[in-house]
Structure 1
Amino acid sequence: MSAELENELKIFFKDLEWRGIISNHANLENFYHLKPEEKVIYLGIDCTGESLHIGHLFQLIQTIRFAKEGFTILLVLGGATSKIGDPSDKEVERKRLETEQLNNYYHKIKNQVTRLVIRSPLTKTATEIAKKTKLAPLELFYADKPNLLKDIYKIFKISMEDEKEKKWEKYLNYIWPLQDNKFKILNNNDWLSKISFIDFIDKVGRKIRVNNLIKKEFVKKRIDSEVGLSFLEFSYSLLQAYDFWHLYQNYNCHGQLGGSDQWGNLTVGLELIEKFYPGGKTKIFAFNFNLLTDKEGNKLSKSENNGVSLNNSRHEFFDFFRNMTDEQAEMYLKQFTFLSQQQIDELLKLNNPKKLRIPQRILLELEWFLNYGEILNERN
């Protein structure tokens, strides 16, 4: 591997840290030393509800950053693991879902994920969006401030004289620069359903030590609680670890991504693969993201009943971005857009006084695109 590629990955990781995206990482040096053919990562999404929410959108946007760096992204839907549900960060066992309901959730989530990451080529999408919309949000908000709009466009490297299609194409470079040929959607039921319980215990149970599992924070918390932890929930980490091993074997997958409440599960996957391939030759790694939070620092998710569902009305999704505090909007500008540090710094200087709300209105470009692009409602 060339020193140039290693340097590019170091710069990329530094950018992730600056954006406040990375919570923990394991085997960072392995990440830096990946060969081009080893640049494959996966993100798991369980299907325990009928819609993705804003937290999923946050994670999917981060996978696009990896795709832009040449990574292949495996999005693994939990057709099997959704039957259990990840117990991480849960105080009680999840309610058992019937097969019909699980299948319904799976197909809804798959449709949403597909529409988010498998699209028409960029130029075609930009053109179609431009035809369906009269104006972009920035033009609506700053129609009476042409000089300010011109300064914002200059930072975006957009000319006021650009045709609408060209403007949208440039917008998407900063809002949703999707590399659609870099994504594969998989279902872990395709491999977990083919292994018997005895074979699973024989293959995985021999490699993982219980004393390591019970050190995991969520396991200790539940074991010490009055509710306790069922064997069903305890087994979830093993199933997720097996997913990683299967993807390593069959898709050359070297890394796993997840939310910060997933850290215990991610490290079990690393342990399993390292046990199968001792000697430090696997070059596997794991990153987990900071949880998406509201202005009070509370986790945003469907389980906390405060996460905006991507099935919600456009008005509610619009209000989510529009009504952000200045501090939260500045943070989201780093985490939800593909603007560079220099561009964000320049935009924040323009945002004086703050009542101009430039960060909030740039974030509305994302909301505008998701809805007018018909990604959530109708396949392009």
Structure 2
Amino acid sequence: MPTYRSELLNVLDQRHYTHQITDAERLDLLASEQIVPGYVGFDPTAPSLHVGSLVQIMLLRRLQQTGHKPIVLMGGGTGKIGDPSFKDEARSLMDDDRIASNVASIRKIFSRLLTFGDGPTDAVMVDNAEWLDKLEYIPFLREVGQHFSVNRMLSFDSVKLRLEREQSLSFLEFNYMILQAYDFRELNQRYGCRLQMGGSDQWGNIVNGIELTRRMDSHEVFGFTTPLLTTANGAKMGKTLDGAVWLNEDMLPAYDFWQYWRNADDRDVGRFLRLFTDIPLDEIERLERLEGAEINDAKVALANAVTALVRGEDAAAAAEATARETFAGGAGGDLPTLSVGDGMGLPAALSALGFTASNKEAKRKIAEGAVRLDDEVLSDPAMVLTVAQGEQRRLSLGRKKHAILLR
């Protein structure tokens, strides 16, 4: 493992963020001598980012923790197109109102993980619609388009793989990499930004921005990418069979967010502790050496630390308490609830809670013996669930899904 002179690259390397750096030696020298403003871009395609974006948010946190300036770039402009990188089809186009609503909703997650303000290392949040919406087409083509080779653009994996699969790539999407490159140049001019960070799928876009900034302004800027992040079993981070693991609490309850980390594969625990928590490295090394049933202590530490960062200390404590109560046979105050009124069919209840996608799936789960009421396995798909006035019961699907039934 290389040893850098700058705290920034040492921390990123020790915590396993490093995949590619455009010029590690020069960036290392710069980061050891002065404050480096660096940015990551986020397109507001939904009201919340999900866990798949968390490693990039943590990159900005590491940047600030090591004495540099994070720039959060919201893609209010590029979001009107959609990044085609490694997508099988074009994103649905969003109108201005939806984009503005999504940006406003996403903003709050960054305030928990970064310190914003006017100081030299305080984070700033900007929206690329501020300059992209004002571009005039012909001047843009003349001033910026001349620096891009279509032959080279077609060679980048984000485009090439789409074409090789004979999937349509619109001219609108093809322009995305030019606009992202222009973002880097614009941030360099406005904020002195010297570094763009992103996932490995953004390498081509980042390199384009570096080259555009050099050609138009003769400024030296740098790129840094993280490895493609998957779980030990090969699944993409941020997605589960139940859907996306959203960062915003109004999109996913704190208990479900906590459980996502608590249920991490044993093989992922050490890596996730490095990437997604501020737990010191020596403590992480101790936790990842745990074996057998003790590995659960490391998983609880992971779940608590990530939930505290993203949702707050109170949410983490409540989620852990709920898990403790649930598995000890108690009710669990942070679990989802469902009112069954005078009675509700068992399959309908499972579907209403989102435990199953349909009554047909619910009946299959019942037949498999995966459904329990107060720890009693249920086998009758025709069962009607009832709850006495003032009481509550716990309905469970498998080991991970639990809910409280009320009258």
Q: TM-score range by the shorter chain?
A: 0.7 to 0.9
2:29 to 24, 27, 33: 33
Structure 1 contact 117–180 (Cα < 8 Å) conserved? no
* Alignment map for 1:19-30 (pairs within 5 Å): 19-30=15-26
Q: CA deviation at 1:14?
A: 3.9
Structure 1 contact 47–106 (Cα < 8 Å) conserved? yes
Structure 1 contact 30–284 (Cα < 8 Å) conserved? no
Give me the whole-angstrom Cα distance separating, in 2, the residues matched to 1:15 and 1:361.
24
Between stretches 233-242 and 325-334, larger displacement belongs to 325-334
1:344 aligns with 2:284: yes
Structure 1 contact 118–180 (Cα < 8 Å) conserved? no
Q: CA deviation at 1:88?
A: 0.3
Structure 1 contact 295–325 (Cα < 8 Å) conserved? yes
Aligned residue number for residue 297 of structure 2:
358
Q: Secondary structure at the match of 2:144?
A: helix
After superposition, the C-alpha distances for 1:60-80 in whole angstroms (9 at most, x for unaligned) are: 122111111111011000010
Aligned residue number for residue 308 of structure 1:
245
Give me the whole-angstrom Cα distance separating, in 2, the residues matched to 1:52 and 1:119.
19
Structure 2: which amino acid aligns with 1:266?
Answer: I
Q: Secondary structure at the match of 1:298?
A: coil
Which structure's relative contact order is higher, taking Cα pairs within 8 Å and 6+ residues apart?
1
Q: Secondary structure at the match of 1:182?
A: coil
2:225 to 281, 285, 288: 288
Inter-CA distance 28–304: structure 2 relative to 1 (3 Å threshold): farther
Structure 1 contact 34–283 (Cα < 8 Å) conserved? no
1:106 to 95, 103, 108: 103
Give me the whole-angstrom Cα distance separating, in 1, the residues matched to 2:105 and 2:34.
32
Q: CA deviation at 1:85?
A: 0.9
Q: Which structure's residues are more often helix, by fraction?
A: 1
Structure 2 contact 197–224 (Cα < 8 Å) conserved? yes
2:159 to 219, 229, 235: 219
Structure 1 contact 41–254 (Cα < 8 Å) conserved? yes
Structure 1: which amino acid aligns with 2:95?
Answer: E
Aligned residue number for residue 79 of structure 1:
76
Q: Secondary structure at the match of 2:196?
A: strand
How many positions carry a matched residue from both structures?
308
Between stretches 97-106 and 13-22, larger displacement belongs to 13-22
Structure 2: gaps spanning 5 or more residues: 317-407
Q: CA deviation at 1:193?
A: 1.5
Aligned residue number for residue 274 of structure 2:
334
Structure 1 contact 302–309 (Cα < 8 Å) conserved? no
Give me the whole-angstrom Cα distance separating, in 2, the residues matched to 1:38 and 1:368.
28
Structure 1 contact 300–307 (Cα < 8 Å) conserved? no
Give me the whole-angstrom Cα distance separating, in 2, the residues matched to 1:303 and 1:34.
40
Structure 2: which amino acid aligns with 1:214?
Answer: L
Q: CA deviation at 1:37?
A: 4.4
Between stretches 301-310 and 189-198, larger displacement belongs to 301-310
Q: Secondary structure at the match of 2:85?
A: coil
Aligned residue number for residue 245 of structure 1:
185
Give me the whole-angstrom Cα distance separating, in 1, the residues matched to 2:162 and 2:169.
6
Aligned residue number for residue 133 of structure 2:
193
Structure 1 contact 119–180 (Cα < 8 Å) conserved? no
1:203 to 126, 143, 149: 143
Aligned residue number for residue 271 of structure 1:
211
Q: CA deviation at 1:181?
A: 5.5
Aligned residue number for residue 41 of structure 2:
44
After superposition, the C-alpha distances for 1:117-166 in whole angstroms (9 at most, x for unaligned) are: 3479xxxxxxxxxxxxxxxxxxxxxxxxxxxxxxxxxxxxxxxxxxxxxx
Structure 2: which amino acid aligns with 1:241?
Answer: A
Q: Which structure's residues are more often strand, by fraction?
A: 2
Q: CA deviation at 1:29?
A: 2.1
* Alignment map for 1:83-102 (pairs within 5 Å): 83-102=80-99
Give TM-score scaled by structure 1 length: 0.74
Structure 2: which amino acid aligns with 1:364?
Answer: A
Inter-CA distance 373–198: structure 2 relative to 1 (3 Å threshold): farther
Structure 2: which amino acid aligns with 1:355?
Answer: E
1:57 to 49, 54, 60: 54
Give me the whole-angstrom Cα distance separating, in 1, the residues matched to 2:132 and 2:67.
29
Q: CA deviation at 1:238?
A: 0.5
Structure 1 contact 326–354 (Cα < 8 Å) conserved? no
Inter-CA distance 119–244: structure 2 relative to 1 (3 Å threshold): closer
Give TM-score scaled by structure 2 length: 0.69
Give me the whole-angstrom Cα distance separating, in 1, the residues matched to 2:65 and 2:253.
30
Q: CA deviation at 1:43?
A: 0.6
Kindly, what percent of the aligned residue pairs are identical? 31
The RMSD of aligned alpha carbons is: 2.7
Q: Secondary structure at the match of 1:67?
A: helix
Structure 1: which amino acid aligns with 2:298?
Answer: P
